[in-house]
Amino acid sequence: MVKYSIFSIARNALQGHRNWPEQWRSPEPKTDYDVVIIGGGGHGLATAYYLAKEHGITNVAVLEKGWLGGGNTARNTTIVRSNYLWDESAAIYEKSLQLWEGLSQDINYNVMLSQRGVLNLAHNLGDVREGVRRVNANRLNGVDAEWLDAEGVKDFCPIINISKSARHPVLGATLQRRGGVARHDSVAWGYARAADARGVDIIQNCEVTGINRNGGKVTGVETSRGTIGAKKVAIVAAGHSSVVAGMAGLRLPVESHPLQALVSEPIKPVIDCVVMSGAVHVYVSQSDKGELVMGAGVDSFNAYSQRGSFHVIEHQLGACLELFPIFSRVRMMRTWGGIVDVCPDASPILSKTPVEGLYINCGWGTGGFKATPGSGWSFAHTVAKDEPHPLNAPFSLSRFETGALIDEHGAAAVAH
Amino acid sequence: MLDITCPWCGKRHETEFRYGGEAHIARPENPSGLSDADWADFLFMRKNTKGPFAERWCHVNGCRRWFNVIRNTASHEILATYRMGETPPKLPGGAT
Ligand SMILES: Cc1cc2nc3c(=O)[nH]c(=O)nc-3n(C[C@H](O)[C@H](O)[C@H](O)COP(=O)(O)OP(=O)(O)OC[C@H]3O[C@@H](n4cnc5c(N)ncnc54)[C@H](O)[C@@H]3O)c2cc1C
Ligand SMILES: [Zn+2]
């Protein structure tokens, strides 16, 4: 692996940038691995990287049915924050944010983390109480959080409409200054390159079609490129989690829904923070290219189609224009959808399963991009040691039997 | 947007309806005899099928009645709609 630095850029510039090596190999699959990871999204790739880095397990393959970044990893609106309500969530999302803060250096890849501050708006008295409570809970957990009143919101984000006569007036907001955005496909590529450099095989265009077991223990997978043996198999398939888990006879409490996003034509800088409103389904930030990046709500129905309904976009934009009248003549350039795996308590599953040697990481729903590093880091521990890590122990599959659910609907909303 | 045919009112836009998730999940006959795992299965575990899937919809902005739909979750194609209590129609390929 060529280390990226000012010197390697200068050297390659002198050669007309014609001699950069590939960022990762594309090897033929071997017949056997210690660990096979199903799904080459951010979470799968991060798991592979931390298995190699933290646990010295390098005989690992990541099998991706399409291409890296074809799933939700590179379809999301890239909001990163850690201001979740409950202790369990705050712990794993905050670990994640701390890993984000050193990630570009750690994997020698610029993930363009921009900690520009995230506002979560309150539009009624219930929202205000919920927001203030969350700020207090966050501080008790060492997560930075502030409460702003309407004037404070206007100071932080001058283009926002705080008129009292608005359909959904802004009464205040929580602010996490360390929150922000990151470049989504850099996360997939950066983890892939760093994992590859430690010996992990990244295998694209390789769809898993079956999970082989013998006496309740996993033995490998069937794929579109043949049978691959494995001592351990980790399912990290996001929207397709139920389908893949079904290959091993497992039922999940997960439902797959389309979630849409859209971007505008590029405009001059107008908004230098992230604004989110769970109540009216708006979230917006501006990319380095100048596009407004916006997310809509989920479609109500289950689907696997990577596209959603137009009325959902219409609803989102209606609410958005109330908040930001200045956007009224901006043209939208593209919309798209991803398939998100939603859990009934809006919290993820990182867990062992009833099948020995089979592990699952799913249910991140509408908000798992921010969790990519912490998820991979703690899940690698679970796969390596065959036991929960303290950070992911509360997120076991068995919580649906014990009833110890982690209700994060307030912090997750449909939002991120 | 889906066009959904209500078995009472006919074809309408999706925005007139509310989604009700997987159909034909029967409440257990003997609740007090159930294990925690059985309860978890009834309350939380879902088929989440990719392909033809039996689901419930309610015509909230119309006749306000619940009914069932078989829809392909990969293509959004609606294959059948039928009233509550009716047996699902047999579809080629053995749907749901
Ligand atoms: C529109 C949208 C906006 C979002 N906004 C945010 C946000 O602002 N902030 C935030 O934190 N989160 C956000 N999310 C959620 C976030 O994107 C996801 O929670 C997260 O990306 C999921 O993990 P992943 O990256 O590993 O998923 P993915 O990238 O989807 O990875 C799963 C991979 O598994 C592969 N796969 C599936 N089946 C198989 C098989 N049989 N064999 C081999 N491979 C298989 C898929 O091809 C896919 O590449 C958003 C999501 C969407 C769709
Ligand atoms: Zn009707």
Chain A environment of B71 (Cβ under 8 Å): 301
Distance (Å, rounded) from C-alpha A352 to C-alpha B10? 47
| Residues framing ligand 1 (Cβ under 6 A) | A 38-44, 63-66, 70-73, 75-79, 207-208, 236-240, 244, 259-261, 295, 338, 340, 364, 366-370, 416
What secondary structure does DSSP assign to A180-237, as a single string?
A: EE--HHHHHHHHHHHHHHTT-EEE-S--EEEEEEETTEEEEEEETTEEEEEEEEEE--
Residue B72 token pair: 């392909």
**What is the torsional sign of CA A305, A332, A296, B14?**
negative
Q: Which of A242, A300, A344 sits opposite B48 (nearest CB)?
A: A242
Distance (Å, rounded) from C-alpha A207 to C-alpha A224? 5
Name the closest residue on chain B to residue A249, using Cα atoms.
B47
Instruction: Tell me the whole-structure pTM to 2 decimals.
Output: 0.97
pLDDT bin (cut points 50, 70, 90) of residue A37 is: very high
* pLDDT number for residue A387: 98
3-state DSSP assignment of residue B8: coil
Q: Which of A243, A301, A401 sits opposite B37 (nearest CB)?
A: A401
Q: Which of A300, A302, A402 sits opposite B48 (nearest CB)?
A: A302
**What is the torsional sign of CA A230, A235, A236, A240?**
positive
Chain A environment of B37 (Cβ under 8 Å): 401
In this predicted structure, the answer to whether residue A410 has a pLDDT above a threshold of 80 is no
Strand-pair category, A358-362 with A349-352 = antiparallel
**What is the torsional sign of CA B26, B27, B30, B34?**
positive
User: Between A and B, how many CB-CB pairs are < 8 A?
Assistant: 68
Q: Which of B15, B36, B74 sits opposite A311 (nearest CB)?
A: B15
pLDDT digits (tens, 9 = 90+) for A208-252: 999 999 999 999 999 999 999 999 999 999 999 999 999 999 999
**Interface touch B19/A309, C-beta < 8 Å:** no
pLDDT digits (tens, 9 = 90+) for A331-358: 999 999 999 999 999 999 999 999 999 9
Average pLDDT of chain A is 96
Domain boundaries, chain B: 3-22+41-94
Task: Name which of A304, A340, A362 to mutate to probe chain B: the one with the most chain B Cβ atoms within 10 A of its Cβ.
Answer: A304
Distance (Å, rounded) from C-alpha A340 to C-alpha A298? 9
Q: What's the CA-to-centroid distance between A283 and ligand 2, angstroms?
A: 34
CATH number of B3-22+41-94: 3.30.2270.10
3-state DSSP assignment of residue A63: strand
In this predicted structure, the answer to whether residue A412 has a pLDDT above a threshold of 70 is no
Report yes or no: A206 and A39 within 8 Å, Cβ to Cβ. no
* pLDDT number for residue A31: 97
pLDDT bin (cut points 50, 70, 90) of residue B44 is: very high
Average pLDDT over residues B16-38: 95
* pLDDT number for residue A416: 45
Q: What's the CA-to-centroid distance between B74 and ligand 1, angstroms?
A: 17
Name the closest residue on chain B to residue A315, using Cα atoms.
B15
The ipTM (two decimal places) reads: 0.94
Point out the ligand 1 atom lying closest to the alpha carbon of residue A296: 1
pLDDT bin (cut points 50, 70, 90) of residue A414 is: low
pLDDT bin (cut points 50, 70, 90) of residue B94 is: low
Distance (Å, rounded) from C-alpha A40 to C-alpha A230? 17
**Interface touch A301/B37, C-beta < 8 Å:** no
3-state DSSP assignment of residue A347: coil
Name the closest residue on chain A to residue B22, using Cα atoms.
A302
